[in-house]
Structure formats: structure tokens, C-alpha cells
Chain A
């Protein structure tokens, strides 16, 4: 093994080492997560962004639409904290609505892709042999298709391709393949582990083994892949909007805002930077939260966070 040469410190077996009180698994996971500083900060930031995106529109006087009362191309000021567009949108209003749509798409894709991909990958890896070969060929087909082109092609031909859930379903339909691959790889090595054989020897059924042993042990890679998928979904949605296949005006998404402001970055920076920075912050916080979750779900992690 590639461990460092520090000899494993034999753990003391006395009751003090863990603390006498029996704690539930959930409490342990929570306490480990809370100790992960970057994840906690990210969680707070993300919650604020989500609150802003979903509750903000109720509090702010402008929505994301054009209003005649709004003067064109005003830089940030007291009336319009993030300025206005040439057409007469309030950028803050757009930003809140855009973030809302983008987050809805991203989380839907991530949840859908992770559930489908994990189950598909775990089943493929666990059964192996012909089943595995067949299931992985299906994955290959989904992987080699140029995602953006495919997504755009379908979106252009589907009625209702303008709503956020249609966009999410289309992206999700293609995006699970990557997760399936990752999970299959992990499961291939996990299924050879003796604890899986122990469960078989005890009479466990394949679905029991997949749900109780394989998926929990693959949780680390799954969570990392799921967080990456959120970022992928955000970018794909942005790309689709850019190509005008995504969420259609008058509705708006962060990607669409960036696309619209692509020529304005130097002349009217208030149109370009707010959605750009927000996109970046959302992706970053989700990655940190993913790290924290992965560590918290692994009972081998030490309780103390450095």
C-alpha cells in the first residue's frame, strides 16, 4: 500500500476514546460536517444565494422583465443597485430570477443524474459479465454523443423547450452516463471485498448488497461526481441559453445573462460581472459542500477537523 511510513497507532480500546454516550449515526455525520470549515462557510453562502434567488423577487420592486419606467443603461446606483440594461431591465431583478432558474435546472439535473447513474453503474458493476458489457455500451453511447449538440438539437424540436424543467430533463437525460461510469468503477473493486462476500454468505440478495453495502461505500466518489454534475449542468444550461435553445426570453437564466452581456464586459461591466461572479460562487460553494459531505459520510475520518 502507498501509506506513509507512520505506523498505524493502535487505537486504545477503552471507552474514553470515543465518548461513552451512544450517538446516532446522523448526529455523528452532522458533527463531522460542522467541523469542516470551508463546507460550513460554503453552505451558509449557498443558502443565502438560494434565499436571495427564491425570496428576493418578492421583496424587490423590479422583476426580470422590461419596464418602461426603467431608464436604459444606467450604471449601478441607489435606484438600481446593479444598474440597468439597454432594453430597460433591472439587473438585480434579472439576477435573482436568473439564479433561481439556473439553480432549479442544476439541482434537478444533479439529483436525476446521480440517482439514475448510481443505480445503473452499481448494477452494472455488481452483476458484471454480459450484463455489465451491455449496460456499459449503453453508457458509451450516451458519453460519445456531443452533449451540447444533442441537447440543443432536442431542445429545438421539443415543444416547451423553453421552460426550466424541460431544459433540466433534457440535460439530465444525457448527463447520468458519467456518474454511471464512476460508480461502476468503484463497485467493481468493492464487490471483491470480503464484506460483500460476508453479506452473500449471510444470505443477502443482490439488491440488499447494492443498497446497503455498495452504494454507501461508493458515497465519496458519488458525491464528488454529483457536485461536478451541478457545475456541468449550470455550464450546459448557460451554453444552451447562449445558443438560444435554453430558457427563452422573456424568462431568463444566468447563462443567458452572460451570453447577452458578452460584448458589454468592458463598456458596461455591471451587465457581465454580477451573473459571472454568481455562477462562479455557486459552483465553488457546491464543490466545498461536496468535499465536506464526502468526509462527513466516511466514518473513518477522524473527528477533529484540521
Chain B
């Protein structure tokens, strides 16, 4: 986007300290915990110049949020903060709460991840923005309100006068986050720290909020610290980047340098484990094996060494410092002020010159080599046990036999009045006429934003909820007419994997019991179940000895593997995967995706892959169906859909996905949608997308629009199996 011109050149040229707005030096944060000191952040140093944008990326637990909380003085009392952080030359570490309040909100402002909890539900939006102004400016109430109005306009909120009088719950998530941005920029701060500002939002809304953030920067000239786990978001919006791991900055440098020439194996690994929208589907993702270190027992030496494929003796003994390469292979220290330098904390960073992720990391699905061998055997065993699974590998998409069919599926959830009578006062049209076909050994992806009805569709297909109308059949047998009791034996063939690996495992049961539960329900004896559980644990790449543990003792990725093992316990034919990787860190996500691919090949499974993440979908799916407000708007093979998306919504979705590539991300053509998804209790007439459609708003004439308003478009075939539901569809090439 248009963000970066003003900085990178000036920044490197004038390496003075005159325009430094934020200077962090050797900042360390240690929490006291029951199990000893917990070093959450260690010796983080960086400077930020006026108008500059710094991205801090890292996985959960890497210390990226704690760093900024320490700077804002928002850490709980038990935290010990050492080092220094200066805003405009003023030291702010160690200030009392009263003193730091003068800096906070005035010179330095913060935007949090969850806009729902960072706004007070009992005050109006206008009051809360005015309050922020009044806290630091001696102006009248009138002036503060005028400023609030001006700010809302700046962040792109439609009908600002009206919004000022509304309460947070009346606004959508994207709208709320823009209000939070407005509050942050109320006093024209010099630094804005945004901590995962878009993580809770849908991609199309994310694009809007990032736009508002850019507007805020343009307007106030503030420097930005953008903290995120999403390499794509960082690529397009910052000048410099710092990668955090195990509480330390392990690589810093200009964004292009870090993305195109990473010097730290971790950064390289992260890039390799991302499924890419802008690249041909390659064979395998290359996950980083293992899990991030426990901060309580950090390894000696390099914290990444236990997961690093090029770790040597030295790495396990001495922790590398953050040093730059000087071109001759020597590593030299760089001044923190030298913002143009590219530094990495790796003893062997010079060996990484020109390396690609695949050179270093292997496309494995499981964590350790030993386990991998075990898993291979287990796979073979299970495959034998699964009737009908021929070991030939995946068949071509589109040629297999249709096994699960959905026709004209409709689901309306009643909205009932409060009180005793609970009258029906309306209905949420969650799914409005969806037809799908899932073939054998195929992955069909169901894509859409939150609230579009994709998860409801998935549950309808499993008959976990009852449809309002429509048909579901499995291998020709209608399921929608069966009673729950009649359905029970069929559940063996149709299984579900959940999004949240924390909520989907009963915390009071051991892992063995969880995996064995489906077996017990279907009447298997204890002995057989036990053997099967060990097999399954091996199959998904976990140590079978760990069956006696409880779910909370495992990391997110491992728990998701447990969830998959449970789903596989009954040898199902169809797995419905409801956002199976969206709750996982990228380096972990890749391993789970690879596992799913392996399992499909070996066991001959069919997947219905429900996801909002188009990058993952492009990597894993054979066919894709895009949903919007309960209807399928476009469907086709993965190549058709990503190569030539025809529906304006699909086009907008694809172009809203940030690419983890700075140059491509800044230069790509965008199709932007405005606003939020309408209320499914009262969807727009005609084409449901028309209220947000860029084509409807920009290209169509009055006469053409009438058709969109009056006539719901049918899902029509464009000759090659590629169908879309738009009256004026036209395929475009976006990537």
C-alpha cells in the first residue's frame, strides 16, 4: 500500500537520534511464577523513527505482546521489568502509574486485539472518544465532541454523527476496531502500538481496518509498531521487521531483506511453513518440527537449536547474539540506531545465504524421525484394516464416486422473544439452499467469512443439527429421514474434526479415554480399544506412551492431532474438518496440514474442509465452494477458482488475503469490498452480496442494477464445471 515511501530512505540516511520517537534498550521482563522465574522477554532493543512502521512477528508465547505491554506500563505488579524504553527521550520504565498516564494515550497509544473488550459497553462511542481527548487536552466538551466526529470520519466509519450516539454492541467487530483506532489517534500520538489488531476479524474486514490504520498514520505522522503472527499483514504494512522467538529478537532488518534473504533458520522455517496463495501448489509444506520452548526451562545456547535442522555443537552451548553480516562472512555488532542493518541471532547465518526453506526443512507430517517411522508402519496397518481403501494413492478429483450429497439444504434458526411465551419473532437464515457433492478421496473446501453458514452446513451434513428443508444422503442413503438412533451406526463413517483444539477435548478425560470414546460408544471391548488407541496415537505422530496424560499437557498442535486421532478411531470414510488449523501457529499448522494430506492418501478419506483461510484451502483442496450469507456463490476446481475467479465476492476474498511477500503485497491489484456482512435474519433482496459488491457500486448502470436487486442469481455452470451465482460475472486473474 501507500505507506512506506516516507521512511525507509530517510531513515537509513540520517542515522542520528534526532527523529527517534521510541527507543527500547535491553528490555527484559520476568514474571514470577509458581515454578520459578519466567523470562518472557529478554534483552529486546530497537529504535523507531518518526513515521516509521516496525513489524514484530512471532508465534504465541514469543514475548511480542509482553514487550509492548511493558512499554505501556500495563504489566501486572508481579512482573519485573529491566532495561530502558524512552519515548521522545523520556524514560518511561519505572514511572509510577500516575506519571505514565500522562504519556499513555498522549504520546504513545495502543490498539488491542479484541475491540469488544477494549471498549466500555455502558458508554456511547462518542463519549469514549471524547473522554480520550479530554484526558490529555484542555478543551471544552463541544470541541472534544467535534474532534470525535472528525476522528470517526478519518477511520472511515459511515454516518459518523449517528455512530457517535451508539453503544459498542451496536457496532460490528470491524467498526469497533476502527473506533479503537480513532481513540488511539485522538491526541495525535507519536507512537501507536497495535497488538494483533486484525486477528479477530474476517479478511475483508481486516483489509478495511488496516486501511484505517494507514489513515491514522498518515494523519498523525505517528510511528507504528505492528505486532502480529501473520507474515502477510506485516509484509504490506511495515518498513522494518523484528522476528521474536523464545522472548528474544532473533532477526531484524528491512522487510524486504528479512522476507527475501532471511538469515535465521527460524524466519526461513516460518516462510516455508506458510501455504502460499501466490505460488503453485507445491508438494509439501515444510513445517518446523517440535514446539516452541517452555520459557520456564529455556535450553542453554540458542533457544531455537532444539528445532533447528542446522544446529551444531556450538548452538547448544552459546546463545548467539543479534549480529549483522558485513559482507565478508564476518558477523559484526550493529548499533541499534542503524535501522537499515539486517541482523540475525544465529551463529551460522552466513550459511543461509540464498537458502530456501526446502533446503533446510523437510516436508514431514510428524515431529520426530523415530515417530515418523512408527507412523509409517501404523499407517500401513490401519490402511489394511480399512476396507475399501486401496493403496494406489489419491484418485483424480472429479472422477471418484459421489459419497456424500447435499441438495437444496436450508436451515433457519428461530429467533424467539424473551419471556415465558418465547414467540417466534423472526429467523436467522443460516443456510439458504446449498447443494454440494463430495466425492471419494476428494477434498472439497467450503470457504467463507464468519457467519456465512459454512459451519452450519458442515453440521447439517453430519445431522448434528436438523435441517429446515433439503436432503442429505450418504452413498445414496438419505440421512435426513433417520432418527438419532438410526443415525448412530452411520456415524462410524462420518466424523468431525473441530477448530478449537482446547474446547474439543474433554479436560477431565485422559487422551486414551478421549480417543477410545467413539470405540466404546460403538461397543468395542477395552482390550481392542487400547490397542487401537496406541495405533492411532502413532498414526498421528504422537508418542503412544502419552495416552495416560490429560489434554492440557499438550500443545495446540498436538491436541489437534489428538482430535484427528479420535475422528479416525472408527475408520470413517468422510472427515468433516471445521477450521482444523486456524487456531494453530503457522509453524505448527504446516505439520497438521501435511498429516491430513498423508492420512487422506493412505486411508482413502474424503474431506470436507471448512475454512476461512484461502491460502490453506488453495494448498489442500481439490474443489472449492465459496459461501456468502447462506448461499454458495461460486464453485469450481481449485485451479479454476483461484486462477479465474468469476464472482465479485470471490475476487474480493482472494485480493484481501495478505501475501507474505512485501513487493507483491504492495503492488497487487485489489478489489475491495466495503462494509460488513448483513444480518442473516434480514438478508438483502435479490443478490445477497449486492450491498457490498464493488461491481454493483462501481461498474453497473442503473438498469443493470435492477436485476441484482430483484432477482436472486442462480448458480450457473460456465461450461467447465466452474459455477458462479452472479448476473454479471466475469473471470479475472488476480494472482
Give residues in A with beta carbon < 8 Å to B: 4-13, 15, 17-18, 20, 22-23, 25, 193-195, 197-205, 208, 212-213, 216-217, 219, 297-300, 302, 304, 306
**Residue contact B555 to A13, C-beta cutoff 8 Å:** yes
Task: Give the distance in Å from the alpha carbon of A85 to the alpha carbon of B33 in the complex.
Answer: 56
A279 CB to nearest chain B CB (Å): 34
Asked whether B97 is an interface residue with its Cβ less than 8 Å from the other chain, the reply is: no
Closest residue of chain B to A201, judged by CB? B496
Complex A-B: 12 CB contacts under 8 Å: A4-B76, A5-B79, A10-B291, A12-B293, A12-B294, A15-B545, A18-B553, A194-B504, A199-B517, A202-B566, A300-B552, A302-B34
**Residue contact A9 to B553, C-beta cutoff 8 Å:** no
- Taking CB atoms, residues of chain B closer than 8 Å to A195 are 503-506
**Residue contact B550 to A299, C-beta cutoff 8 Å:** yes
Asked whether B570 is an interface residue with its Cβ less than 8 Å from the other chain, the reply is: yes
B459 CB to nearest chain A CB (Å): 8
**Residue contact A193 to B570, C-beta cutoff 8 Å:** no
- Taking CB atoms, residues of chain A closer than 8 Å to B563 are 198
Partner of A10, one of B69, B292, B495, B517: B292
Task: Give the distance in Å from the alpha carbon of A216 to the alpha carbon of B508 in the complex.
Answer: 7
Report B538-581 residues with CB < 8 Å from chain A CB.
Answer: 543, 545-546, 548-550, 552-555, 558, 563, 566, 569-570
Report B131-155 residues with CB < 8 Å from chain A CB.
Answer: none
Partner of B61, one of A9, A202, A299, A302: A9
Task: Give the distance in Å from the alpha carbon of A101 to the alpha carbon of B449 in the complex.
Answer: 64
**18 extra interface residue pairs, beta carbon distance < 8 Å, beyond A5-B76, A213-B506:** A5-B69, A5-B79, A7-B65, A9-B294, A10-B294, A11-B552, A13-B546, A17-B553, A193-B503, A194-B499, A195-B503, A201-B495, A202-B570, A203-B489, A203-B518, A216-B506, A216-B508, A300-B507
Task: Give the distance in Å from the alpha carbon of A82 to the alpha carbon of B369 in the complex.
Answer: 74
B579 CB to nearest chain A CB (Å): 11
Closest residue of chain A to B34, judged by CB? A306
Known A-B contacts A197-B464, A198-B566; the reply to A7 vs B61 at CB < 8 A is: yes
B437 CB to nearest chain A CB (Å): 21
**Residue contact A202 to B34, C-beta cutoff 8 Å:** no
A interface: dominant SS: loop
Asked whether B86 is an interface residue with its Cβ less than 8 Å from the other chain, the reply is: no
Task: Give the distance in Å from the alpha carbon of A201 to the alpha carbon of B489 in the complex.
Answer: 11
Task: Give the distance in Å from the alpha carbon of A212 to the alpha carbon of B296 in the complex.
Answer: 35
**Residue contact A299 to B507, C-beta cutoff 8 Å:** yes
Asked whether B410 is an interface residue with its Cβ less than 8 Å from the other chain, the reply is: no
- Taking CB atoms, residues of chain B closer than 8 Å to A15 are 543, 545-546
**Residue contact B293 to A203, C-beta cutoff 8 Å:** no
- Taking CB atoms, residues of chain A closer than 8 Å to B65 are 5, 7
Task: Give the distance in Å from the alpha carbon of A205 to the alpha carbon of B555 in the complex.
Answer: 30
B234 CB to nearest chain A CB (Å): 20
- Taking CB atoms, residues of chain B closer than 8 Å to A193 are 503-504
**Residue contact B297 to A12, C-beta cutoff 8 Å:** yes
- Taking CB atoms, residues of chain B closer than 8 Å to A200 are 464
**Residue contact A197 to B553, C-beta cutoff 8 Å:** no
Closest residue of chain A to B459, judged by CB? A197
Report B684-717 residues with CB < 8 Å from chain A CB.
Answer: none
Asked whether B488 is an interface residue with its Cβ less than 8 Å from the other chain, the reply is: yes
- Taking CB atoms, residues of chain B closer than 8 Å to A298 are 507-508
Give residues in B with beta carbon < 8 Å to A: 31, 33-35, 38, 40, 60-61, 63, 65-66, 69, 74-76, 78-79, 291-297, 459, 462, 464, 487-489, 491-492, 494-496, 498-500, 503-510, 517-518, 521-522, 543, 545-546, 548-550, 552-555, 558, 563, 566, 569-570
**Residue contact B517 to A9, C-beta cutoff 8 Å:** no
**Residue contact A6 to B31, C-beta cutoff 8 Å:** yes
Closest residue of chain B to A194, judged by CB? B504
**Residue contact A299 to B63, C-beta cutoff 8 Å:** no
**Residue contact B492 to A203, C-beta cutoff 8 Å:** yes
- Taking CB atoms, residues of chain A closer than 8 Å to B63 are 7
A190 CB to nearest chain B CB (Å): 10
**Residue contact A9 to B510, C-beta cutoff 8 Å:** no
Task: Give the distance in Å from the alpha carbon of A38 to the alpha carbon of B252 in the complex.
Answer: 52
- Taking CB atoms, residues of chain A closer than 8 Å to B508 are 216-217, 219, 297-299
Task: Give the distance in Å from the alpha carbon of A302 to the alpha carbon of B69 in the complex.
Answer: 27
- Taking CB atoms, residues of chain B closer than 8 Å to A17 are 553
**Residue contact A10 to B61, C-beta cutoff 8 Å:** yes
Task: Give the distance in Å from the alpha carbon of A98 to the alpha carbon of B509 in the complex.
Answer: 42
- Taking CB atoms, residues of chain B closer than 8 Å to A306 are 34
Known A-B contacts A9-B294, A201-B464, A202-B517; the reply to A299 vs B76 at CB < 8 A is: no
Central interface residue in A193, A198, A302, by most chain B CB within 10 Å: A198
- Taking CB atoms, residues of chain A closer than 8 Å to B550 are 299-300
Task: Give the distance in Å from the alpha carbon of A208 to the alpha carbon of B487 in the complex.
Answer: 16
**Residue contact B33 to A6, C-beta cutoff 8 Å:** yes
**Residue contact B510 to A25, C-beta cutoff 8 Å:** yes
Closest residue of chain A to B75, judged by CB? A5
**Residue contact B38 to A9, C-beta cutoff 8 Å:** yes
Task: Give the distance in Å from the alpha carbon of A72 to the alpha carbon of B374 in the complex.
Answer: 83
Partner of B518, one of A25, A194, A202, A300: A202
Closest 7 CB pairs of A and B: A202-B518, A194-B504, A203-B491, A299-B550, A203-B488, A201-B496, A195-B506
- Taking CB atoms, residues of chain B closer than 8 Å to A212 are 509, 517
**Residue contact B549 to A18, C-beta cutoff 8 Å:** yes
Task: Give the distance in Å from the alpha carbon of A85 to the alpha carbon of B498 in the complex.
Answer: 69
- Taking CB atoms, residues of chain A closer than 8 Å to B40 are 6-7
Partner of B496, one of A5, A10, A198: A198
Known A-B contacts A17-B553, A216-B508; the reply to A5 vs B66 at CB < 8 A is: yes
Task: Give the distance in Å from the alpha carbon of A15 to the alpha carbon of B368 in the complex.
Answer: 14
B228 CB to nearest chain A CB (Å): 16
Task: Give the distance in Å from the alpha carbon of A22 to the alpha carbon of B546 in the complex.
Answer: 9
**Residue contact B291 to A194, C-beta cutoff 8 Å:** no
Closest residue of chain B to A192, judged by CB? B503
- Taking CB atoms, residues of chain B closer than 8 Å to A197 are 459, 464, 496, 498, 504
Task: Give the distance in Å from the alpha carbon of A200 to the alpha carbon of B521 in the complex.
Answer: 10
- Taking CB atoms, residues of chain A closer than 8 Å to B504 are 193-195, 197-198
B144 CB to nearest chain A CB (Å): 31
Partner of A201, one of B74, B491, B500, B552: B491
**Residue contact A13 to B60, C-beta cutoff 8 Å:** no
Closest residue of chain B to A206, judged by CB? B484
**Residue contact A9 to B33, C-beta cutoff 8 Å:** yes
**Residue contact B521 to A7, C-beta cutoff 8 Å:** no
- Taking CB atoms, residues of chain A closer than 8 Å to B61 are 7-10
Task: Give the distance in Å from the alpha carbon of A117 to the alpha carbon of B445 in the complex.
Answer: 45
Closest residue of chain A to B367, judged by CB? A13
B612 CB to nearest chain A CB (Å): 17
Partner of A20, one of B462, B488, B545: B545
Task: Give the distance in Å from the alpha carbon of A201 to the alpha carbon of B522 in the complex.
Answer: 12
Task: Give the distance in Å from the alpha carbon of A23 to the alpha carbon of B548 in the complex.
Answer: 8
- Taking CB atoms, residues of chain A closer than 8 Å to B553 are 11, 17-18
Closest residue of chain B to A137, judged by CB? B420
Task: Give the distance in Å from the alpha carbon of A281 to the alpha carbon of B65 in the complex.
Answer: 48
- Taking CB atoms, residues of chain A closer than 8 Å to B78 are 6
Closest residue of chain A to B522, judged by CB? A203
- Taking CB atoms, residues of chain A closer than 8 Å to B66 are 5, 7
Partner of B555, one of A10, A22, A25, A299: A10
Closest residue of chain A to B114, judged by CB? A1
- Taking CB atoms, residues of chain A closer than 8 Å to B492 are 203
Task: Give the distance in Å from the alpha carbon of A233 to the alpha carbon of B563 in the complex.
Answer: 44
**Residue contact A304 to B34, C-beta cutoff 8 Å:** yes
Partner of B521, one of A8, A10, A203: A203
- Taking CB atoms, residues of chain B closer than 8 Å to A198 are 496, 498, 504-505, 563, 566
B440 CB to nearest chain A CB (Å): 21
**Residue contact A6 to B38, C-beta cutoff 8 Å:** yes
Closest residue of chain B to A193, judged by CB? B503
Task: Give the distance in Å from the alpha carbon of A22 to the alpha carbon of B297 in the complex.
Answer: 24
- Taking CB atoms, residues of chain B closer than 8 Å to A205 are 488
- Taking CB atoms, residues of chain A closer than 8 Å to B569 are 202
Partner of A11, one of B60, B294, B459, B494: B294
- Taking CB atoms, residues of chain B closer than 8 Å to A299 are 507-508, 550, 552
Closest residue of chain B to A11, judged by CB? B553
